[in-house]
Amino acid sequence: MSGTHTGNPVAARVRRLEERLVAAGQVTDAELDAVLTSVLDGASPLNGARIVARAWSDAGFRERLLADANAALPEVGLSMAGGLQEQRLKVVANTPERHNVLVCTLCSCYPVALLGPSPSWYKSEAYRSRVVREPRAVLAEFGLDIPDGREITVWDSSAESRYMVLPQRPPGTEELTEDRLAELVTREGLIGTAAL
């Protein structure tokens, strides 16, 4: 894990810790890279897209997903395990009355296994602080205009809990297969900063 992260204080602290562990002979850079590779192996927004496509196609799965996402994920071959403990996942559905958007105000907690590596803007202090205070304005900056009558709910991730947005199914997609539906889903849609 070489390189410096001068623009991100958390990343700089992590790198200093890594350097100390390497200097003390506790771990090598190659071992740290192997851990990161194993964590990211298979991490992709395609996983989240598969979940959404199944929820759009199977009302029973959608109901189970919204009630207990951790219990429903194995139905599509996924889980939130992978660290020291299983993270809690809550899937929140966009509706004509409500739009959901994700943030982690403390750092950048994010369901990497389901959405792939987080975009740089998700980690930025500007996004993390502003989307909570003025979500409608921030979403407009992403090109997503939410009508005044539609409620916006901001979900704040934590070390123990992660969130994923279940976007509204686009009209005219009733005849599409799950694979074709999954192709419509974007990482931004899963975060709530874009509509599909």
Residue 36 has what pLDDT? 56
Give the residues across from 155 on adjacent strands: 102
Backbone angles phi, psi at 122, to 5 degrees: -65, -30
Residue 1 has what pLDDT? 34
124 counts as catalytic: no
All domains in the chain, ordered by first residue: 9-40 (no CATH), 45-191 (3.90.330.10)
- Is the pLDDT at 194 greater than 60? The verdict is yes
57 counts as catalytic: no
Q: Running DSSP on this structure, what letter comes out for residue 16?
A: H
Which tens digit of pLDDT belongs to each residue from 18-69?
A: 778 888 988 876 776 666 555 555 567 899 999 999 999 999 999 999 999 9
79 counts as catalytic: no
Nearest-10 Cα torsion for 100, 88, 109, 188? -40
**Active-site entry in 2, 57, 107, 161:** 107
**Active-site entry in 38, 44, 57, 104:** 104
SS3 87: coil
**Active-site entry in 2, 79, 109, 120:** 109
- Rounded CA-CA distance 178/50 in Å is 8
108 counts as catalytic: yes
Handedness of CA 107, 78, 100, 173 (dihedral sign): positive
